[in-house]
């Protein structure tokens, strides 16, 4: 069943139009309550396949399924009012052929009501991006460090050698020319990310890239400090919620064990005159 339409402030074209105007604010979102908190402050919300690691405890994003992405895309759309919502296409859902990519992208858009999809890959995915865009599927690209390729490349910053840099330049240019409305540049050395931002016509959204990118994105749970044991170099914690949650759980446990919670104000009394 298709998701209902709703008024939106930002769509893919509006994101593209922000290049050269002001920085694009983007964060990941996976649930309805968090989306409602983030939406008023963001131009773009990404239902990232990072949810596999953030919510499901997977070691990489490779195990994320299309069904997982659709379920969380639906949850985010229930909470989003103004931001452009983009859903990641998971590993294996688009690499086989451009026809496979269209079938799965169309399913994501139809079943979630989201504005666009995102896929990883450079020049080798340009034909697929063009195929989707010409058939009405807005696409956000993703170059540089590509987490879905972790089994082949590992997690490490990109662009240190001239060979790596040349490939990332070609990738960004190819995806931009193929019709992507924006390109995420991840884990890429600063001078190269700055150069790419200046050279392609569509916005770059950086994560571990350059402050010169046209926008920035972080995994919300990283930015909020919900993980106490892991912080990538490129993450700034704007809050440190993990200790607060642990303290709240400890206080709750103490009150339950001492029978001070629930108190009279938390329980129901029989109404007078009830049979």
* Cα-to-chain-centroid distance, residue 129: 18
Q: Does 221 count as an annotated binding residue?
A: no
DSSP state of 80: -
How far is residue 173's CA from residue 198's CA, in Å, rounded to a whole number? 11
Tens place of pLDDT per residue across the chain (275 aa): 554 444 467 899 999 999 999 999 999 999 999 999 999 999 999 999 999 999 999 999 999 999 999 999 999 999 999 999 999 999 999 999 999 999 999 999 999 999 999 999 999 999 999 999 999 999 999 999 998 998 877 778 888 999 999 999 999 999 999 999 999 999 999 999 999 999 999 999 999 999 999 999 999 999 999 976 666 777 788 899 999 999 999 999 999 999 999 999 998 888 887 66
On whether residue 144 sits in a domain, the answer given is yes
On whether residue 109 sits in a domain, the answer given is yes
On whether residue 133 sits in a domain, the answer given is yes
Q: Does 50 count as an annotated binding residue?
A: yes
On whether residue 181 sits in a domain, the answer given is yes
Task: Report the number of distinct structural domains present in the chain.
Answer: 1
Q: Does 275 count as an annotated binding residue?
A: no
Give the residues across from 44 on adjacent strands.
Answer: 26, 84
**In which residue are the tokens 């063009």 written?**
130
How far from 59 is each of 147, 205, 228, 261, CA to CA, in Å? 11, 24, 16, 37
* Joined tokens for residue 30: 């996976």
User: Do 160 and 132 contact (CB within 8 A), yes or no?
Assistant: no
User: Do 239 and 227 contact (CB within 8 A), yes or no?
Assistant: no
**Environment class of residue 170 by beta-carbon count within 10 Å: exposed (0-12), middle (13-18) or buried (19+)?**
middle
On whether residue 259 sits in a domain, the answer given is no
Provide the pLDDT for residue 8.
61
Contacts of residue 211, defined as CB under 8 A and 6 or more positions apart, other chains included, come to: 190
Beta strands in the chain (DSSP E): 24-28, 44-47, 84-88, 116-118, 139-144, 182-186, 204-207, 215-218
How far is residue 84's CA from residue 137's CA, in Å, rounded to a whole number? 14
On whether residue 236 sits in a domain, the answer given is yes
On whether residue 71 sits in a domain, the answer given is yes
Q: Whole-model pTM above 0.85?
A: yes
Residue range(s) defining the domain that contains residue 16:
12-240
**Environment class of residue 53 by beta-carbon count within 10 Å: exposed (0-12), middle (13-18) or buried (19+)?**
buried
**In which residue are the tokens 């440190």 written?**
240
User: What's the CATH code of the domain at 212?
Assistant: 3.20.20.60
- Catalytic residue annotation: 186
User: Do 43 and 83 contact (CB within 8 A), yes or no?
Assistant: yes
On whether residue 167 sits in a domain, the answer given is yes
């Amino acid at each position: 069943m298709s998701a209902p339409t709703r008024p939106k402030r930002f769509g893919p074209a509006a994101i593209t139009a922000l290049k050269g105007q002001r920085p694009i604010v983007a964060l990941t979102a996976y649930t309805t309550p968090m989306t409602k908190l983030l939406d008023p402050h963001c131009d773009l919300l990404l239902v990232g396949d990072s949810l596999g690691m953030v919510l499901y405890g997977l070691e990489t994003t490779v195990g994320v399924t299309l069904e997982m992405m659709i379920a969380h895309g639906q949850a985010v759309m229930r909470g989003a009012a103004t931001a452009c919502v983009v859903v990641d296409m998971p590993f294996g859902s688009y690499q086989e052929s451009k026809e496979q990519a269209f079938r799965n992208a169309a399913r994501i858009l139809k079943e979630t009501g989201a504005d666009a999809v995102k896929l990883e890959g450079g020049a080798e995915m340009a034909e697929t991006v063009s195929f989707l865009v010409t058939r009405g599927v807005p696409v956000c690209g993703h170059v540089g460090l590509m987490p879905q390729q972790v089994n082949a490349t590992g997690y490490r910053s990109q662009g240190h050698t001239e060979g790596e840099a040349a490939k990332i330049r070609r990738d960004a240019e190819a995806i931009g020319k193929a019709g992507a409305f924006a390109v995420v540049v991840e884990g890429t050395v600063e001078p190269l990310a700055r150069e790419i931002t200046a050279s392609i016509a569509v916005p770059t959204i950086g994560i571990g890239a350059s402050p010169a990118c046209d926008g920035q994105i972080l995994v919300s749970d990283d930015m909020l400090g919900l993980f106490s044991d892991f912080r990538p170099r490129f993450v700034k914690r704007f809050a440190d919620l993990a200790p607060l949650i642990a303290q709240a759980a400890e206080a709750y446990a103490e009150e339950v064990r001492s029978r001070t919670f629930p108190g009279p104000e938390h329980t129901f009394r029989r109404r007078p005159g009830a049979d």
